[in-house]
Amino acid sequence: MGEVNSTGSLRRLSLSYNSADSHTSALRLVLALFPDWEYTDGEVEFVRFKDGITNTLFKAIKRRPGFSEEQIDEEAVLLRAYGSGTEVLIDRERESASHFLLAHYKLAPPPLARFQNGLMYRFIRGRVCQSHDLSQQPVWRGVARRLAEWHALLPLVSTENTSLSDNEDDGLQFSNPSRKDVPSLQDINAITPFKHTPNIWTVIQKWIFALPTRTPAEVERKTVLQKELKKTVIVLGDNPGLGKDGLVVGHCDLLSGNVIIQPSETRDAPDIETVSFIDYEYTTPCPAAFDLANHFAEWGGFECDYSVLPTRSTRRDFLHEYLASYHHHLTTSDDQAISPLTSSEDTQPAVDVGTSHAEVSQLLAEVDRFRGIPGLYWGVWALIQATISQIDFPYAEYAETRLQEYWDWRAAEAAAGTKKQSQMGERELRWAQE
């Protein structure tokens, strides 16, 4: 797979969503996109999904007389309003390019329009996963297949903003706020000069640069985390792996709420759910092992319930399913020159294609090596959210929990093969269970 540039053109609306005037502002956006909804029969209705910890999400429908629920859903639109200040965390141009790429490969609903603080796109029929669903075999087999399809088919995309300077007004207080002290793209990419950028390491680097330094404790924490990132990149940043130069296009936020279980009639096999992924804000090139380890971490939900994380045997079974799908999609794409517009349902693996016990074991070991990195990734993210977010969520506490996962991983790696191994934390003990 080669590199491609984003060429999609998305309609932009010079309107915004206002939470203080929710219904009126949402209606104005939808009618700007579909003017006929105002003049044809049937009410425009909004279904507000439970707020995530970053964004606000609505489903807008036109309840046309005589239409079935399925027909209504076919023209429904999702309206996602970005959380306050999140531009420092999320590259919206990259998100847009990722959405276009995924839609091109039939792995995402078509994007319809961007507005000043959000995005509108087509609705996906199905049920949103809950945390407990992820550990159900029909679901995780579907997730393994779909994630492998992403990793096998999607080419790396080059889209980057120039620096953090575009986000100077996001509410973060930098220790040296003059423009010359804002990290440049070159500063950010220096963490992995040997890799395609952006990538998961440059994203973490950008976030660490954005950490507040208002107190001596914050300065010290930022210094420590910068050292840890550099140390981690030395160990894991240039490992061989699946994809181009060890990188695949990863979802990088595959929590339960971003997994949609589609209607049963879409199943390719009776005992495997067909799933789709939504929300592509964090989609970026990464080692496949990171995307997999990050998904496994999400089995515990926002509560970080380590008792439900997949054991070693379950991870092995998941990766066997994943690799069978990965090889199937590579084979189909390479040997049959599959069109990127071929329906994903037509390309599900019917047999175990080219997956050996040794390959599964190798990927299992790679995922094990990356198991602590999601803690660093989301820990730094939560430290920033604690500063900028207006959503009622205990970001500071969550940051400490996730960063502790990283420190526990570091301790376990250092103690491997010694008597101290028996002193591992709860998450590490669960991870080690067969």
Torsion of CA 374, 377, 383, 386, to 10 degrees: -70
Please report where in the chains the tokens 């999904």 appear, as a residue. Answer: 49
Side chain identity at 251, as an amino acid letter? H
CA distances to 132, 212, 287, 406 from 373, in Å: 23, 21, 11, 6
Distance, CA of 130 to CA of 241 (rounded, Å): 30
Distance, CA of 213 to CA of 377 (rounded, Å): 19
Which of these, 313, 343, 13, 12, lies nearest to 149 by C-alpha position? Answer: 343
CA distances to 406, 421, 428 from 413, in Å: 11, 9, 10
What tens-digit pLDDT sequence spans the chain (434 residues)? 444 334 457 899 999 999 899 999 999 999 999 999 999 999 999 998 865 667 888 999 999 999 999 999 999 999 999 987 888 899 988 998 999 999 999 999 999 999 999 999 999 999 999 999 999 999 999 999 999 999 999 998 765 554 454 444 433 444 443 445 678 889 999 999 888 999 999 999 999 999 999 999 999 999 999 999 999 999 999 888 999 899 999 999 999 999 999 998 877 778 999 999 999 999 999 999 999 999 999 999 999 999 999 999 999 999 999 999 999 999 876 544 443 333 444 445 544 556 789 999 999 999 999 999 999 999 999 999 999 888 889 999 999 999 999 999 999 998 876 666 557 889 999 999 99
Residue 286 is inside which H or E element, if any? strand 284-286
Question: Rounded to two decimals, what is the model's pTM?
Answer: 0.88
